[in-house]
Amino acid sequence: MNQTVQKRRAAPRDAPEPRTNDPERTMADIIDVATHEFSEKGLAGARIDAIAESTRTSKRMIYYYFGSKEGLYIRVLEEAYRRIRAIEAGLHLEDLAPEDALRRLVGFTVDYQLANPDFIRLVMTENIHRGEYLAQSKLIQKLNVPAIEGLRRVYERGVEAGVFRAGLDPVDLHMSISALSFFNTANRHTFALIFKRDLGSPAAVVARRDSIIEMIVRFVRR
């Protein structure tokens, strides 16, 4: 056997394994990297080249899976909303008394948004685009229906039990919960600098979380 054939057969032990033919995993990897790229640089500043390099794929492959840069961005938005709603659905709010359920929901929203700044920046980016790309996704519309219905059931149970006041709009209540939780992350750095507060300390995080929960509960409580 000649030396050339021997060299071809004797691959080094530390050679990287070839990428498996797993389209779902590849797409998931691309979406994961693209989430950070879009959240950091926005739609205009994000680069498909950078995403391809980080995922060991090619621009051609990304366009094959997602159609375009905008198509990938929409998929990133869809996955961002899918994740938060999937976890939200597992809170088992129906097993709790109405006020306890509301406290759990508000606390989860605060915690999730604080732990996922990429989600906050994606939402901010999409608001800069006036919801242009979100409007193109029927999936995002469907994903948010259960969130409102879950809150509506908690609220209606509270009204029936005599612990929540009547006449509130669940969508408006959802907006208030989101607003407080969103600001807590989106404006964290500027607020801390302007008012000389260490908002990142464990004590400050807990205090702010408790304050947001109390504001919502006292607003709803009868």
Instruction: Kindly give the confidence (pLDDT) of every residue in the chain, 222 residues in length, as a single tens digit, with 9 standing for 90 and above.
Output: 444 434 333 333 343 333 457 889 999 999 999 999 999 999 999 999 999 999 999 999 999 999 999 999 999 999 999 999 999 989 999 999 999 999 999 999 999 999 999 999 999 999 999 999 999 998 998 999 999 999 999 999 999 999 999 999 999 999 999 999 999 999 999 999 999 999 999 999 999 999 999 999 999 999
Residue 42 lies in a domain: no
> How many domains are contained in the chain?
1
* CB atoms near residue 44 (< 10 Å): 10
Residue 6 lies in a domain: no
pLDDT confidence of residue 92: 94
pLDDT confidence of residue 7: 39
Residue 61 lies in a domain: no
Residue 39 lies in a domain: no
pLDDT confidence of residue 16: 35
Residue 179 lies in a domain: yes
pTM, entire model = 0.85
The C-alpha R_g of the chain, in whole angstroms, comes to 23
Q: What domain range is 172 assigned to? A: 78-220
d(CA 118, CA 208): 20
Q: What is the sign of the dihedral through the CA atoms of 129, 124, 55 and 46? A: positive
- φ/ψ region of 77 (left if φ > 0, alpha if ψ in -120 to 50, else beta) reads alpha
pLDDT confidence of residue 13: 37
SS3 164: strand
First to last CA, the chain: 88
Residue 56 lies in a domain: no
CATH number at 144 reads 1.10.357.10
Residue 23 lies in a domain: no
Residue 17 lies in a domain: no
